[in-house]
Structure 1
């Protein structure tokens, strides 16, 4: 077993690392580097960590995305397992139900080859290392339910506690419109991921790490490579770094422009909505009704939280997606330019009428499949943000880092579960350049601080962060 002193001794040379952005990528990378003794400074423009685009789902095997490649699905599964091992208290442990509406061109059975390969891959990972069993038993990775089975479950009492996979489907079966769906429906072990609890875990962990310096409310104003170091000017002063990591999220291109570096990328602005449905009882899974993205029949996603609160996605242009919300950069700039009104929304400037209108539309979108959900009410401001997508493929989901000259690195994740893989690639680069001993790779994902945080402390801070960000505290609670 390695001691904490052994971890710190993996750092060989004097090295100052700067990370621009304290989102899930920047925070995870800082935790990984700080643990091996690297001097890290995080420059975060917001008031707290992990305060960027919302995430609520681990996307374990990418089963929400029919359009992505099989290899991306396998990569996402591996990344999701690693993420749960590093941030175990951030998980909302409940499965996801996937249903195909009758108006959709797909067939539920089209999923089976992918699910079988994911299940076999999960089984292989668990066989290699039993600690990888964080998504339940591999034999229970997915389960099909016929219409007849669901109708039988609809007649049962809603259980107080979950004792079988069947129990998860009972509240869904009691409310679902059977005539709107193709059968069977699929239950898969893809869990929820709490942004508020992950933010709390990161914040509490940094308090125990002397090598990590977190500066919030810190706006980067200028970046330049000069005298063999990166010179970074902010509203709080001037910094010099030997190694600079650009983890600025959708503003990554702005930092690239300052550093006189080119990059092809896209940015997409999206939003989810919060609804309160007090009539909801029992333990709900997440429920996904598939659909063609960008059309009126786009995917509908219901993410459950305690107390009858739900987060809603509707992949239509008048709910989650926005007209002109997906933009590319130009040859003149690495930063894609969102229309001014969407940029204002990304900067927390929403009109009340649009919040109400889109929230009601999201409720109606779900109610076509769950009729009684029509009584749900909007419950606060949207969860929103702009998401970067490196390259020119809008279906890309599994991404991590890119490297430039002079020790400049971009952390370009699309999904939260890719943050850990990004930190791995950066450690490999530091080892290859002689900054860090190769023992850092052999140690693997220790993350002793994130795994040691107190559950009560995490819950209390997560609720406080939810309140500070003007969301119901229920979004910070466990199921």
Structure 2
């Protein structure tokens, strides 16, 4: 049965349009099964989209999403860590409820117990799923007394427990600005630049993948031969490629291909940005999340650490990460939501420096409300930015996978990076009419990644960051 399936997989040709995290991961999975896949990417390198900084393993950062979505995110994050082992920043996340917020940590406890039990079950089924530490150590709570006791301690050179990670925050946090207890959970970081490097190295080394960067797809058409004809252009030269299956992984421009293929779909697109700062610190930090109501001046504040004193900031207000009129929907005339020209200009031409600096400074001020000494942080680069697609009408949607039109067209519409791998498996399951058991057996006989060296990933990831005018520290573990 496995041999027959493998033969079927190899007999078909698949095109993936879009080399973001979704498209690159799908191509990687297909190539790992020896499926002939062509990946089209308009840019000069892969995975260049909205800011990515974390896995959101259990979705605890989002109090408004469902438990079902959280469980899905947990499973998807574990799978992502296994396929991208060189791309994970292994540091926990602190979740704090501000005094000004109506919420409290206790409301998250049932969810945390649910996630812990699911994590245990996944490990019992497969020991290789134990990538988030011991399940009994999935989270820990800290009282104000705990933080007071840590204020005069020094972080040890080798971090072995949660309290070691909490030390730098205990020394700098305005203890009166938050409610207690604080929560620390094993939710890790995800490096966009290292994923870009890993996928590029793997796909270039694969004999099953034809990686076409700097290729703009001009048109797609379904032919009388029941194949897809893809017209694409490289340096002004047009070529037509014929495939059996088409996977639309175009991110915020998914609707453009939908319009070409005459397959309408309802979705939203939201423009977002994160900001790069430098704050000289000698200790290793966790990620820190201060909950808040989205879109208000008290929106969520997020501090994400990188090596060498660099920090990425989110502030879920319209003056920082969100933008007035930055969320748009499909119309009756097109499956592609139309962003305002000002956002398109940012995506195509870059930012106005004054606006970039002003928003970065507001992000610094937003964090400084809770960590006063962070007001000494400096602007350290241009924003990480992009447009994020959200299928359907629910702006809080986080765990989403894939949709199909007929038997030969699939859309990969992920909201979170960790969803990409499950999307790939669902596509293979659907397009090739194979069971997940067969797919699992096939996976066990095929490597998803070629053997990559840490030094090769480091070198290429830093080069990609520099080419995009970001500090190379963002590409380091």
State the secondary structure of the residue aligned to 2:246: strand
What is the rounded CA distance, in whole Å, between the counterparts of 1:160 and 1:260 in structure 2?
Answer: 58
Query: 1:287, 1:302 within 8 Å by CA — same for their partners in 2?
Result: yes
Q: Which residue of 2 aligns with 1:140?
A: 137
Query: 1:10, 1:439 within 8 Å by CA — same for their partners in 2?
Result: no
Q: Which residue of the other structure, out of 88, 93, 96, is the alignment partner of 2:90?
A: 93
Q: Which aligned pairs between 1:307-346 and structure 2 lie closer than 5 A?
A: 307-346=308-347
State the secondary structure of the residue aligned to 1:275: strand
Query: 2:33, 2:448 within 8 Å by CA — same for their partners in 1?
Result: no
Shift in Å, 1:51: 1.1
State the secondary structure of the residue aligned to 2:311: strand
Q: Aligned in 2, Cα 1:411/1:57: closer, same or farther, shift over 3 Å?
A: same
State the secondary structure of the residue aligned to 1:179: coil
Shift in Å, 1:223: 1.3
Q: Which residue of 1 aligns with 2:161?
A: 164
Query: 1:31, 1:447 within 8 Å by CA — same for their partners in 2?
Result: no
Q: Which residue of 2 aligns with 1:246?
A: 248
What TM-score results when the alignment is normalised by the length of structure 2?
0.96
What is the rounded CA distance, in whole Å, between the counterparts of 1:310 and 1:233 in structure 2?
Answer: 42
Q: Tell me how large the CA RMSD over aligned residues is.
A: 1.7
What is the rounded CA distance, in whole Å, between the counterparts of 1:217 and 1:87 in structure 2?
Answer: 24
Q: Which residue of 1 aligns with 2:429?
A: 428
Q: Which aligned pairs between 1:280-429 and structure 2 lie closer than 5 A?
A: 280-405=281-406, 407-429=408-430
What is the rounded CA distance, in whole Å, between the counterparts of 2:385 and 2:115 in structure 1?
Answer: 30
Q: Aligned in 2, Cα 1:176/1:238: closer, same or farther, shift over 3 Å?
A: same
Q: Aligned in 2, Cα 1:152/1:474: closer, same or farther, shift over 3 Å?
A: same
What is the rounded CA distance, in whole Å, between the counterparts of 1:318 and 1:377 in structure 2?
Answer: 18
Query: 1:427, 1:441 within 8 Å by CA — same for their partners in 2?
Result: no
Shift in Å, 1:447: 6.4
Structure 2 unmatched ranges of 5 or more: none
Q: Which residue of 2 aligns with 1:466?
A: 465
2:63 pairs with 1:62: no
Shift in Å, 1:159: 2.3
Flag as ranges the 4+ runs of structure 1 deviating above 3 A. 6-13, 436-441, 444-447
Q: 1:10-39: CA deviations, max 9, x gaps? A: 445632111100111111111111121211
What is the rounded CA distance, in whole Å, between the counterparts of 2:450 and 2:163 in structure 1?
Answer: 31
Q: Choose 218-227 or 318-327, whichever is displaced more.
A: 218-227
2:237 pairs with 1:233: no
Q: Which residue of 2 aligns with 1:444?
A: 443
2:11 pairs with 1:14: yes
What is the rounded CA distance, in whole Å, between the counterparts of 2:459 and 2:330 in structure 1?
Answer: 41
Q: Aligned in 2, Cα 1:469/1:454: closer, same or farther, shift over 3 Å?
A: same
State the secondary structure of the residue aligned to 1:182: coil
What is the rounded CA distance, in whole Å, between the counterparts of 2:64 and 2:329 in structure 1?
Answer: 20
Shift in Å, 1:451: 6.4
What is the rounded CA distance, in whole Å, between the counterparts of 1:232 and 1:70 in structure 2?
Answer: 40
Q: Aligned in 2, Cα 1:374/1:7: closer, same or farther, shift over 3 Å?
A: farther
What TM-score results when the alignment is normalised by the length of structure 1?
0.95
What is the rounded CA distance, in whole Å, between the counterparts of 1:347 and 1:12 in structure 2?
Answer: 38
What is the rounded CA distance, in whole Å, between the counterparts of 1:266 and 1:400 in structure 2?
Answer: 15
What is the rounded CA distance, in whole Å, between the counterparts of 1:43 and 1:114 in structure 2?
Answer: 40
Q: Choose 69-78 or 344-353, whichever is displaced more.
A: 344-353
Q: Choose 48-57 or 295-304, whichever is displaced more.
A: 48-57
Q: Which residue of 2 aligns with 1:194?
A: 191
Q: Choose 170-179 or 445-454, whichever is displaced more.
A: 445-454
What is the rounded CA distance, in whole Å, between the counterparts of 1:430 and 1:405 in structure 2?
Answer: 9
State the secondary structure of the residue aligned to 1:101: coil
What is the rounded CA distance, in whole Å, between the counterparts of 2:219 and 2:325 in structure 1?
Answer: 29
What is the rounded CA distance, in whole Å, between the counterparts of 2:461 and 2:415 in structure 1?
Answer: 23
Query: 1:171, 1:281 within 8 Å by CA — same for their partners in 2?
Result: no
Q: Aligned in 2, Cα 1:440/1:74: closer, same or farther, shift over 3 Å?
A: closer
Structure 1 unmatched ranges of 5 or more: none
State the secondary structure of the residue aligned to 1:263: coil
What is the rounded CA distance, in whole Å, between the counterparts of 1:247 and 1:321 in structure 2?
Answer: 24
State the secondary structure of the residue aligned to 2:219: strand
